[in-house]
Amino acid sequence: MTVTRFAPSPTGNLHIGNIRTAILSWMCARSRGGQFVLRIDDTDRERSEERFVESIRADLGWLGLTPDAAVRQSERTGLYERRFEELRAAGRVYPAYETTQELDLKRKVQLGRGLPPIYDRAALTLTDADRAKFAAEGVQPHWRFKLDPGAIEWDDLIRGHQHFDAATMSDPVIRRADGSWLYMLPSVIDDIDLAITHVVRGEDHVSNTALQIQMFAALGASVPLFAHAALLTGAEGKLSKRLGSLGAEHFREEGIEPQAIVSLLARIGTSDPVEPFADPAPLIAAFDFARFGRAPARFDEGELAQLNARIVHQLDYDAVTDRLPAGIDRAGWEAIRPNLTTIADAADWWHVVEGPIDATVDAEDRDFLAAAHRIAGEIDWSSDPWHALTAALKDATGRKGKPLFLPLRRALTGRDHGPDMAALLPLIGRARALERLSA
């Protein structure tokens, strides 16, 4: 069974980049009838906050990305210790004692000599006496994973065949001197324990994947399939700091529907057109990593706003009733819905229905509107008052087209444009219509 995971760190709110990762991971699982796991990567005890854990869960719920299971790394340290000891016994991890300043100096020297700035494995030359001396001085080691020499290769679901040479890479630090874990090893241990089959993440993790593939092998586990999605860019060619920090709360405040975010982020960077899907089922059915390209995926808030309006136009009354102003029934929603860009705009259009409105009409239209007032008092309002009114006015005044319809719309709504008057006039009603035409 396909099992994917989304693994945010609760050191801040979700932003548009990792929201996209969550969507792609969720769709990968759903398209294959699999499971989607939420893994909270809270091993950084100083920066992780419970309020961010709650906001991550709330944002996923708002987006409709319900996980089938959830785990927290802070509750799995015993597992990490056991697997770490296995690697230690096998000689695949080793202690190192260099300070940050010493490592920086080594890198500068290597760069000055035209050499790649990779760790020189000096810690492997230390004797037992050397390590005992550090211990006596109270110096605790950090721990590195020892890479095997040779090629590291895999077939990425998006990027195709990938090739790295372990000789060009530093043995990664997996544990700090204070005993806390860095991202690399616990992530692999979790993927093995949770039977993760597909890992979806940004292309900035490609080199991490090369390192982690050796960790899977060292732990005697099969390697999951990897899909590294191209990074998002903004309209200016790169993802600005502002845009990169935008999260679900911002989009909720802007009146963006979660279906619009899912529709956009599921398709940008693919060969498929971006379309508004109020129901994600068609997106899931068509999901295929083969449709993703390696070029940066362009995220445009303007495109999202347009997509949002098209989503709103699809929403049924029952899906929005709790967010509408009091008094709007199904007929009212269906009348004003085609003119909305966000659901919050419904309040503005409902004010047009209930009034009072401020209408300005041209002097040459006053006699015409007086005739409209008279005829509006005589027609049958029980079926289709708009067409009854305009047909009678056309016969009485000889007006047609814009000279017929625009003065009526202005007098009845105070606007030059808006919802279909055939749907709107019954909502305004006879009494209000006569009052507005008289005014």
Query: Coil, strand or helix: which one is 82?
Result: helix
| Nearest to 92, CA basis, from 197, 206, 220 | 220
106 is in an annotated binding site: no
- Taking each helix axis from N to C end, the angle separating 366-376 and 385-397, rounded to the nearest 10 degrees, works out to 130
Phi–psi pair at 402, nearest 5 degrees: -60, -45
Q: E strand or H helix at 267, and its extent? A: helix 258-267
- Amino acid 133 reads K
How large is the C-alpha radius of gyration of the chain? 31
Query: Coil, strand or helix: which one is 329?
Result: coil
CB 261 within 8 A of CB 304: yes
Give the C-alpha separation, 285 to 27, whole Å. Answer: 9
Give the C-alpha separation, 150 to 167, whole Å. Answer: 7
Phi–psi pair at 296, nearest 5 degrees: -55, 145
Give the C-alpha separation, 29 to 107, whole Å. Answer: 42
Residue whose tokens read 């005044």: 397
CB 70 within 8 A of CB 40: yes
Distances (CA, A) of 150 to 87, 143, 169, 359: 19, 22, 11, 79
Instruction: List the binding residues.
Output: 241
List residues forming the annotated binding site for ATP.
241
